[in-house]
Amino acid sequence: MFKVRIDDEISLMLLQEKDAGKIFKVVDSCRNYLREWLPWVDDMKSEEDYLPVIKMWLKQFAENEGFQAAILYKNEIVGMIGFHHIDWRNSNTSIGYWLAEKFQGKGIMTRACKEMVRIAFEEYQLNRVEIRCGEKNEKSRAIPERLGFRQEGIIRDGENLYGHFHNSLVYGLTRKDIR
């Protein structure tokens, strides 16, 4: 199974159906925290809700359209990161991520995103990577800013979070930017 070791503390791993309980437990442990910026949290009410999602993620990987990986910190699942979709024609993708509240501030997500950028440019030979964040989500915005992404625009009222719209910022990084 796909597993990428980033450093002595962090690795990325594709989830299998047997991991549904583990990922549910992480989400359930910080549901209110995640709910502030993630529109899918209320839909995940049990580990069974993850079974079709994990199948979809595995299919995405098998069809070479991107992947969703668990972030392991000291061998414990603490969040997720992935390529939403790879647009092979235009040679680009976007990265999505979340991290459990108690693991914030350890550099975990910055290191995971840096590895995803490396995979996009070196292994997949893509030309562009995007990250979109809520305009007021300062922790999430810090990641692309720290990694040299450029803020390229604002999508006004770009996402509906539980009945209210908020602006999304678009960050981009191209192959030319990293040379």
In tens, the pLDDT along 12-30 reads 999 999 999 999 999 999 9
> What CATH number corresponds to the domain at position 47?
3.40.630.30
Residue 105 lies in a domain: yes
**Domain count for the chain:** 1
Residue 19 lies in a domain: yes
Residue 167 lies in a domain: no
Which of 5, 158, 175, 167 has the alpha carbon at shortest distance from 74? 5
8 Å CB contact between 99 and 79: yes
Residue 11 lies in a domain: yes
- At residue 174, the pLDDT reads 98
Check pLDDT > 70 for residue 1. no
Tens digit of each residue's pLDDT (9 = 90 or more) over 101-134: 999 999 999 999 999 999 999 999 999 999 999 9
Residue 136 lies in a domain: no
Output the pTM of the full model. 0.95
Residue 67 lies in a domain: yes
**pLDDT-based confidence at residue 2 (cuts at 50, 70, 90):** confident
- At residue 145, the pLDDT reads 97
Distance, in Å, from the CA atom of 148 to the CA atom of 151, rounded to the nearest integer, reads 9
Residue 109 lies in a domain: yes
Element (H, E) at 34: helix 31-35
Tens digit of each residue's pLDDT (9 = 90 or more) over 44-71: 999 999 999 999 999 999 999 999 999 9
Residue 13 lies in a domain: yes
Structural domain containing residue 53: 3-129
Contacts of 12 (CB under 8 A, 6+ apart): 2, 3, 4, 6, 69, 70, 71, 72, 81, 112, 115
